Amino acid sequence: MKIFMITDMEGVAGVVSFVDQSYPDGRYYDAGKRLVTGEVNAAIDGLLAAGVEETLVWDGHGAGAIDFEELHPKALLLHGRPSPLWSRLQEVIRRYDACVIVGQHAMAGVATSNQNHTQNSHTVDAYRLNGKLIGEIGQLALFMGGLGLPLLFLSGERDACREAEDLVSGITTVAVKEGLGRGSAISLSAQTARQRIRQGIATAVAQHRQNPIAPLIWPGPYLLEKRFFFTDTADAEMTKPGADRVNAQVVRFRSDNILDIVYR
């Protein structure tokens, strides 16, 4: 089995602050990257223990959050911004059998979720796809589902685990942090978080072998509504092809292809 792993930063134990840790000019950004990398490495250990042959790690945090020198010797790393052309990225993803997420936060607007946001923490208020609110987990699970990959595992903040369980039946989750608000949380120690991730992800692979998880697919056609905090961001969004203004803060897109719409 070959696994595609997507990582984020705000759902990692010990990473609690946008300003100090998650933004690249934060005073503890490098320390935050080491925490992310520790959880990623634990996940790779768990995958190896479960017999996975290859893992490609996609550093999904905006400015990058993997400490390359500290990365597990068996990992491959997909990194760099801007992200590759979608068509090229899709070719790479299709080489893998299933995907997993490490370090995830919940969607924008979940009051108890530490560092909750969807894509851009400064501009996006909400994403709604076919009437249902989604965050980065929904986007990713549907994108991967469109490429034939099921989502087997997620580790991160507790509300992110709930969000994943609501989307994907049979998914294994590991909560490493309980959010108390956008700026606060109760974290497990780094060691305990890593131990639980190692065990949880190995269990996820074993369970998937016994009882396969299906790729997440919602029936089309698709209607995506993006709500922004500010009207000028909605103005800028109107320059994208197919954009349709719903009101001052909401812009809408339509497509029959999930791969074309879920990351608009």
Contact between 39 and Zn ion (CB under 5 A)? no
Shortest reach from residue 105's CB to Zn ion, in Å: 6
Exactly one of 4, 6, 8, 18 binds Zn ion (CB under 5 A); which one? 8
Of the pair 62, 170, the CB lying nearest Zn ion is at: 62
Of the pair 45, 136, the CB lying nearest Zn ion is at: 136
Residues 89-148 interacting with Zn ion (rule: CB under 5 A)? 136
**Residue number with the smallest Cβ distance to Zn ion:** 8
Shortest reach from residue 8's CB to Zn ion, in Å: 4
Amino acid at 21: Q
Shortest reach from residue 18's CB to Zn ion, in Å: 11
Q: In 3-state terms, what secondary structure has residue 244?
A: strand
Partners of residue 55 on adjacent β-strands: 3, 75
Q: Which of 8-16, 145-153, 195-203, 206-214 is the region at the interface with Zn ion (rule: CB under 5 A)?
A: 8-16
Interacting residues of 123 by C-beta distance below 8 A, sequence separation 6+: 228, 229, 230, 233
Torsion of CA 16, 57, 2, 149, to 10 degrees: 70
Partners of residue 126 on adjacent β-strands: 227
Nearest alpha-carbon partner for 114 in 18, 23, 201, 8: 18
**261/129 Cα distance (integer angstroms):** 9
Q: In 3-state terms, what secondary structure has residue 21?
A: helix
Of the pair 8, 159, the CB lying nearest Zn ion is at: 8
The 224-243 site mask, x for binding Zn ion (CB under 5 A), equals --------------------
- 64, two tokens: 């990058």
Of the pair 103, 200, the CB lying nearest Zn ion is at: 103
The 175-214 site mask, x for binding Zn ion (CB under 5 A), equals ----------------------------------------
Cα torsion angle, 84, 46, 54, 211, sign: negative
List of residues contacting Zn ion (CB under 5 A):
8, 136
